[in-house]
Amino acid sequence: MESRSRLFDDIRASDSRPARARAVNDGAVPYPMSVLVFRQNAFTEVRRRLLADAPLEAACFLLATSSDIGEGLWRLIVGDIVYLEANDYVERSEWSVELTARVLADVTKRARLQQLSVFLVHSHPVAARVQASDEDRRGERKWVPAVTRRAPGVPHGRLILGPTDQSAALLTPEGVESPLRVIEVGEQLVDHSGSSQVHLVDESRNDRQIRAFGVDGQRQLARMHVGVIGVGGTGSIVTQQLAHLGVGEYTLLDPDVIEWSNLNRIVGATPGDVGRSKTDVAAGFVSRIQPDAPVHTLQADVRDAVTARRLLACDFLFCCTDSEGSRAVVNQLAYQYCLPVIDLGVIIVAKHGTVSHISGRVQLLAPGEPCLLCGSVLDPEQVRRDLLTEEARKRDQYIVGNEVIQPAVISINGATASLAVTMMLATVTGIPVAARNQRLRLEAGLVSRLSVAANPDCPICSAAGALGRGDAFTFPGRR
């Protein structure tokens, strides 16, 4: 006779979550949490399929790549979703579901062979507020140690879905639970864990924004940890606008210091800041606008793999750099870790003091969107040069001379930066701005929406390449 394991049993009980999970940093920003990442619409489809048989409960499994992002936190990217057949169930009701031991063993074997995390998912189709019951936890004390023994070194967990609510956690064999955010990443960034986090917003201060994208949109901004890579001409303007919008947490990355020639275009920089790091100057004006917001500064180069990895703790990135190598690194991060990025750049073509072309570019990099390689934005040879170490650059016979200093004007930077921040708002709050790839031609008075075909065999943004592979794929950048 086939052995059986009772895995889930829903009971309608009072909220038993720890107080820390209900009130977060006085409502300002959440304490750090691991994140479970679905691609666009995948979470919504799981919920739809599991609730299709309501009032009967249903279950499925998720297999996810797991990347350690530091401080005991993980970024878990859902790859395979294993839906169950009728013969995978022993028993089903509107209060419980019992699965065969065989189906769990099959999924665990796949996880062991591919070093993947296992999530057991089930529905609570008649519950307004979902949470793990005592019966759920008794079952977890059996299967979590078994899965951990067979697929060690990665975390495993649970996801419970109701019609309008969900509950997710990482689980240890000892019964310790860690809360888990659940997000979908693509043309939109949707945070499905909002109902499990309290985020108070100053409705008086943010009244005009709330009139545009609602209290929920403002709370979403308050939950976000945004990284800005390069806080010079465009990056300083992006950072300033994010601070006024009320983003909850920041990581600011730039290797350089303020020079006298920067003062014409770096927001917040004064003559007294010459010689200071650009990140410290940017952090200073964020703190003046948002005194309670955590701001992390990295005076480092994103082309270095160790530095780039620290960005995995962010929810959203802006790439405001001026090198092909740094763009290539961030472009790969966006798809490999399903971490949305807006890349932006400005080109002013001038000869003998006469401007002929003024161009800006703003593009969302996320699963389902074509990457910079597909759009022929990156020059492979320049990327190669940029990612060489200093010693290797000196030995490279193809590198001759110095880079040409490009023109830069604050108002033109500002136009491009504003388009980029508005695109982020469309991605996060849902305001009706459809474009995810835009080109400015200011000399012609044009802002155009670009359409780029994704290469189905792209080594970066396709399933055949880095997409969703996490740490199973080679990390970009210099070693």
Question: Per-residue pLDDT for 92 more than 80?
Answer: yes
pLDDT at 321: 93
Q: What is the pLDDT of residue 382?
A: 86
Each residue's pLDDT tens digit, 302-351: 999 999 999 999 999 999 998 899 999 999 999 999 999 999 988 888 88
Nearest to 413 by CA among 182, 237, 202, 230: 237
Angle at 334 between CA 358 and CA 468, to 5 degrees: 150
Average pLDDT in the 182-197 region?
A: 83
* One CATH from 3.40.1440.10, 3.30.70.141, 3.40.1350.10, 3.40.140.10 for 4-186: 3.40.140.10
The amino acid that residue 250 corresponds to is: Y
Could you give the 3-state DSSP secondary structure of residue 351? Answer: strand
- Confidence at residue 134, expressed as pLDDT on a 0 to 100 scale: 82
In this prediction, residue 188 carries a pLDDT of 95
Evaluate if residue 42 carries a pLDDT over 80: yes
Residue 31 pLDDT grade (very low, low, confident, very high; cuts 50, 70, 90): low
Q: Which of 28-32, 88-92, 278-282, 467-471 has the lowest mean pLDDT?
A: 28-32
pLDDT band for position 422 (50/70/90)? Answer: very high
- The per-residue pLDDT for 404 is 57
pLDDT for res 116: 97
Phi, psi (rounded to 5 degrees) for 374: -60, -35
Give pLDDT, residue 199. Answer: 60
Start-to-end C-alpha separation, the chain: 55
- Give me the long-range contacts of 193-197 (CB less than 8 A, separation at least 24): 193/33, 193/166, 193/168, 194/219, 194/220, 194/223, 195/164, 195/165, 195/166, 196/17, 196/21, 196/166, 196/167, 197/21, 197/24, 197/30, 197/223
Domain boundaries of the chain, sorted by first residue = 4-186, 207-472
Task: Answer positive or negative: Cα dihedral of 350, 356, 362, 368.
Answer: negative
Q: What DSSP line would sit under 74-141, residue for residue?
A: EEEEEEEEEEPPGGGEEEE-SSEEEEEHHHHHHHHHHHHHHT-EEEEEEE-TT-SS----HHHHHHHH
Percent of the chain past pLDDT 70, that is, above it, reads 89
d(CA 410, CA 262): 10
Please determine, for residue 182, whether its predicted confidence score (pLDDT) is greater than 50: yes
The total number of residues shown for the chain amounts to 479
CA–CA distances in Å: residue 1 to residues 100, 102, 158, 332, 351: 11, 12, 28, 50, 83
- Identify the three-state secondary structure at position 478: strand
- At residue 388 the predicted structure's pLDDT band, cuts being 50, 70 and 90, is confident
Q: How confident is the model at residue 400 (pLDDT cuts 50, 70, 90)?
A: very low
Q: Which of 46-55, 125-134, 341-350 has the lowest mean pLDDT?
A: 125-134
Decide if domain 207-472 falls under CATH 3.30.1510.10. no
Q: What is the pTM of this model?
A: 0.88
Q: Is residue 195 predicted with pLDDT exceeding 90?
A: no
pLDDT at 194: 56
- Rounded to an integer, the average pLDDT of 440-452 is 87
- pLDDT tier for residue 408 given thresholds of 50, 70 and 90: confident
CB 288 within 8 A of CB 458: no
pLDDT above 90 as % of the chain: 64
Mean pLDDT computed over 271-288: 95
How far apart CA 431 and CA 102 sit, in angstroms, is 46
Q: What mean pLDDT is predicted for residues 271-298?
A: 95
Which is more confidently placed, 59 or 194?
59
pLDDT at 247: 95
pLDDT value, residue 7: 39
Q: Counting beta carbons within 10 angstroms of the beta carbon of residue 221, is it exposed (0 to 12), middle (13 to 18) or buried (19 or more)? A: buried
pLDDT at residue 11, rounded to an integer: 25
Residue 12 above 50 pLDDT?
A: no
Q: What is the pLDDT of residues 151-168, one digit of tens each?
A: 999 999 999 999 989 999
pLDDT band at 94; cut points 50, 70, 90: confident
User: pLDDT (tens digit, 9 = 90+) per residue, 199-237?
Assistant: 667 888 888 888 888 888 999 999 999 999 999 999 999
CA-CA distance, 236 to 319, in Å (whole number)? Answer: 12
Assess whether pLDDT exceeds 80 at residue 147. yes
